[in-house]
Homo-oligomer: A and B are copies of this chain.
Amino acid sequence: MRADARRNRQRLLEVAEEVFAEHGAGASTEAIARAAGVGIGTVFRHFPTKEELLRAVFAEHLRKFTEEVESLTRAADPGAEFFAFCRRFLDSAQRKKALTEALADAGIEVDGESRPAKEQFRQAMDELVVRAQRAGALRPDIDGTDVLALLVGAAKAAEQFGKRGLEVIIDGLRCDECGTRPGPSAS
């Protein structure tokens, strides 16, 4: 029986991610239940509040995202991989405005449960950044949080203006002229 429940919960999370991504956080709980093929009561059994559902969806999103970032730290060319990651981020952000905005909130809300997840996520980002910096591809005066901020901002900008802004940001991040730039040389 609990297998059913777990399967339902998972399905709900996936469907909700889909629906929220498409219609924003304003999507009705009923719409999600319908899309998941369950009764609305089931949604509220698993997530007693719409906010909790949103939180859970975001947590799942964060989890998958963290996983991806972590996997990148095993890349051969950290510099190239870093910038490829940036571009990939924008692509995926297209269809997930709401979630990307939620991702932006990763810096703020410090309530219990998702704390560790956020911490892990930040560590992964930092690791990614540090490796690229060590490879001399990335300016040394920023950290993972800064990069996330810039990417979220770039995604926001891309919503309306296309992705040209990202290239400026990337140029600002590069360290091609590390030696000549006045920026600090220590992390």
Contacts and interface: CB of A to CB of B under 8 A. Distances in A.
A58 to B, nearest CB: 13
Given A168-B172, A170-B172, A172-B172, A153 B157 contact: yes
Contacts of A104: 156-157, 159-161
A154 B145 CA distance: 13
A121 to B, nearest CB: 13
A150 B168 contact: yes
Contacts of A154: 150, 153
A3 interface: no
Interface in A150-168: 150, 152-162, 164-165, 168
Interface residues of A, number: 37
Interface string A111-154: 00000000000000000000000000001001001101110111
A84 interface: no
Contacts of A158: 149, 153
Contact of A142 (B105, B152, B168): B168
A62 interface: no
B177 A150 contact: no
Interface string A99-117: 0010011111000000000
Cβ-closest 9 pairs across A and B: A172-B172, A153-B153, A153-B157, A149-B161, A149-B157, A156-B156, A107-B160, A168-B172, A171-B172
Nearest to A180: B177
Contacts of A142: 164, 168
